[in-house]
Amino acid sequence: MVLIMIAKEVLKKIQKIHIRTNYIVNDMFAGEYESAFRGRGMEFEEVREYTPGDDIRDIDWNVTARFGHPFVKVYREERELTIMLLVDVSSSSLFGSQKQLKQELAAEIASVLAFAATKSNDKVGLIIFSDHIESFIPPQKGNNHVWRVIKEVLEHTPAATQTDIAGALNYLNKIARRRVVTFLVSDFIADNYEKALRATNKKHDVIAVPITDPRELEFPKAGIVELQDAETGETMLVDSSDEHFRKGYRLLAEKRLNDTFDLFRSAKVDYIDIRTNIPYIEPMMKFFRMREKRL
């Protein structure tokens, strides 16, 4: 039923993303995702007699006293997780100088993460935001749900142009009572979200997924051009043939990106650096392996 009322063009995009990301998860991310994340915690399962090498902190003193020799508590990991995808659909996500818009790449990354979670029997939820919450899909399981996630990100037409990352994080904190793994997918062209990011990362496991297009870092030499801020609508004329302009543009863009990475590190937030001109598989694999090694 998920496919009903989907435009043919969007359906083709969804099918393409579905096939490609399903293959990637099965062929390349098998086991990587599951190894990278712990479950919610340890759940008591039974008691058994103590054997040499057991941790003495696990001794059940009540049972030990009753039987006259030591017994230990046995726990098992509660594996099921809830994954929340927070996807920025502000106007800057509709930019792309490569094969894909940033929004299309965000949909593909969300699909990979949703497939990986589904194959590990985890729930996946979606929050789409601009300068307010545009859409919320509660966490569920199953491949049909993955279709819906891809469709929502690809087909969504935002009602606003600007970005409020802090608002999206605060909304997550209100609806998620238990700890969740949160992938925040955005270009992070926004201000005043540091406090909310730090607070949310204390409550949940936040992973930032910044998406950057090379044209946002390097302005092409194209003569006199009119620039328009996609989020504010403000316009200005610039001479892109001016070497000083292009150098200043590059330095400011690199500083903004480096400041964003510095914020993630200071807030102890892991991040996956995604570029629209570089395959995302390698940075995602690197991230999963880093998390697995840390655990």
pLDDT in tens, 133-173: 999 999 999 888 888 888 888 888 888 889 999 999 999 99
Give the pLDDT confidence of 41-86 residue by residue, as tens digits. 555 678 899 998 888 888 999 999 999 999 998 876 556 789 999 9
Calpha distance 32→119 (Å, rounded): 12
* Predicted confidence band of residue 176 (pLDDT cuts 50, 70, 90): very high
What percentage of the chain has pLDDT greater than the value 90? 44
Cα–Cα distance, 137 to 260 (Å, whole number): 28
Structure tokens at 16: 């393409």
29-36: average pLDDT: 77
Q: Are 110 and 87 in contact (CB under 8 A)?
A: yes
Residues 6+ apart with CB under 8 A from 191: none
DSSP codes, 160-215: -SS--HHHHHHHHHHH--S--EEEEEE----SS-HHHHHHHHHHSEEEEEEEE-GG
Q: Which domains does the chain have, with CATH numbers?
A: 8-35+80-294 (3.40.50.410), 42-78 (no CATH)
- Please give the pLDDT value at position 76: 64
Eight-class DSSP state of 45: E
Average model confidence (pLDDT) across the chain: 86
Structure-model confidence comparison of residues 24 and 122, the more confident one? 122
User: Token pair for residue 193?
Assistant: 């979200």
pLDDT for the residue 7 = 58
Amino acid residing at 109: I
Nearest to 51 by CA among 70, 66, 67, 64: 70
Helix (H) or strand (E) holding 287: helix 281-294
When mean pLDDT is compared over 111-115, 203-207, 212-216, 248-252, the highest value belongs to: 203-207
* Residue the block writes with tokens 């392996």: 289
The tokens describing 214, both together, are 């090379």
42-56 residues labelled b (16+ CB within 10 A) or e (exposed): eeeeebeebeeebee
Residue 198 CA to residue 178 CA, distance in Å, equals: 17
Lowest mean per-residue pLDDT among 38-42, 120-124, 166-170: 38-42
What single-letter amino acid sits at 172? L
pLDDT confidence tier of residue 4, bands split at 50, 70 and 90:
very low
**Residues 273-290: what's their mean pLDDT?**
92
For the chain, the helix, strand and coil percentages under 3-state DSSP, each to the nearest 5 = 45, 25, 30
